[in-house]
Structure 1
Amino acid sequence: MALRVTFVAAAGSSSVLAERFEDVRPLDQAGWSEVQRAAHELLPLAAADLRYCSPAPRSRATGEGLGYAPLVQLALRECDMGRWRGLTLGEAMAREPQAVDAWLADPRSTAHGGESLLDFIGRVGGWLDTRPAEENCRVVAVAEPSVIRAALLYVLKAPPAAYWNIEVRPLSTVGVAGRAGRWKLRLEGVFAQSARA
């Protein structure tokens, strides 16, 4: 039985340099404009059998804005960043440079007092493995880029260090197909406006 899951990256609400760990800011006007431009291409995903989103405000707003009426999934939340929640990487580095270095170097590190990268990848993978496995069931999940990177590592059984080498652009899509423990990557589409550097 094959399950098809399409991940849609939440629309952005800030520049990459201003991204914050576990960002709870809502979509800004630029983010809403991205959703409106992408809606025509991404609306067909609303026909999925099951529609989910992470609890992050940007993901929920993106899913609603695209007409998905998604069900919030706590397992699709971003990595628990402990005392770094709400900080940019630069801010965390300024406060705790050795802890940030340890966290970046070791996927088992919880230097921030939160969840390790390995545990985060396992949590997202566990969510994927527990989706209904009905034949040709189609699922769409709107999530933050970090969650999509974790899902891709899980599907590909890639080393955790590869997490830092995956760029997920706002409103891009990527699919996976299979069932628990047996997943394949399915390259689908990227919304052209969002893919520009």
Structure 2
Amino acid sequence: MHVRVTLVAAARSSSLLAERFDDDRPLDQAGWDEVQRAAHGLMPLAAAELRYCSPTPRSRATGDALGLAPLVQLALRDCDMGRWRGLTLGEAMAREPEAVDGWLADPYSAAHGGESLLAFVQRVGGWLDTRPADDGVRIVAVAEPAVVRAAVVYALKAPPATYWNLDVRPLSAVTLTGRGGRWNLRLDAQPVRV
């Protein structure tokens, strides 16, 4: 028995340099424009039997704009950044440079008072591992790019530091196939199909 989980990174709500930890802002105009341009290639995802999204406004709006009518999954929320919530990386670095350095270097560190990178990856992986294992079921989930990165690290059983080397662009998609505890990464050259 296996499932196919396609993770779609939510459209953006700000420029990359203005991204904030635990950002709850809705899609900006550029994000809406991106969804409109990408919609045709991502529309086949609406055929998935199960459709989910993270609880952020931009993930919900992206899923709705793609015609998914997704169900919110709290396990797909972004990493809990504690007292750094709402800050950019640069702002957190200006306030607590040693704490940021420690957090970036140590996957067990929760220097911000929130969730460690390892706990975040394990939470997202736990969600993956509990997806229904009906043979061939197709699942799509729209989530923050950080969640997609965490899912890939978990699925590949990669060292947590790999997280920092993954670049997930808005509206990019990755497909994981398998079942709880055993996942394969599928890279499509064509637009995503379910």
**TM-score category, normalised to shorter length:** over 0.9
CA shift in 2, pair 1:6/1:189, >3 Å: farther
Equivalent in the alignment of 1:53 = 53
Once the two structures are TM-superposed, the CA of residue 27 in structure 1 deviates from its matched residue by 0.3
Equivalent in the alignment of 2:94 = 94
Equivalent in the alignment of 1:194 = none
- Unaligned regions of 5+ residues in structure 1, if any? 192-197
Equivalent in the alignment of 1:112 = 112
CA shift in 2, pair 1:34/1:130, >3 Å: same
| TM-score, normalised by the number of residues in structure 2 | 0.97
Equivalent in the alignment of 1:127 = 127
Structure 1 residue runs of 4 or more that deviate by more than 6 Å after TM superposition: none
2:175 aligns to what SS in structure 1?
Answer: strand
Equivalent in the alignment of 1:195 = none
CA contact (8 A) 1:174 1:189 kept: no
- In the TM superposition, 1:23-42 aligns within 5 A as 23-42=23-42
> How far apart are the structure 2 equivalents of 1:188 and 1:151?
17
| TM-score, normalised by the number of residues in structure 1 | 0.95
CA shift in 2, pair 1:190/1:29, >3 Å: farther
Equivalent in the alignment of 1:185 = 185
Once the two structures are TM-superposed, the CA of residue 60 in structure 1 deviates from its matched residue by 0.5
Q: What are the superposed Cα offsets for residues 120-169 of structure 1, whole Å, 9 maximum, x if unpaired?
A: 00000000000000000000000000000000000000001110000000
> How far apart are the structure 1 equivalents of 2:57 and 2:160?
27
1:125 aligns to what SS in structure 2?
Answer: helix
Q: What are the superposed Cα offsets for residues 48-77 of structure 1, whole Å, 9 maximum, x if unpaired?
A: 000000001110000000000000000000
The AA in structure 1 aligned to 2:89 is: L
Once the two structures are TM-superposed, the CA of residue 16 in structure 1 deviates from its matched residue by 1.1
> How far apart are the structure 2 equivalents of 1:188 and 1:55?
27
Q: Which moved more, 1:180-189 or 1:119-128?
A: 180-189
CA shift in 2, pair 1:177/1:128, >3 Å: same
Equivalent in the alignment of 1:19 = 19
> How far apart are the structure 1 equivalents of 2:170 and 2:86?
19
- Unaligned regions of 5+ residues in structure 2, if any? none
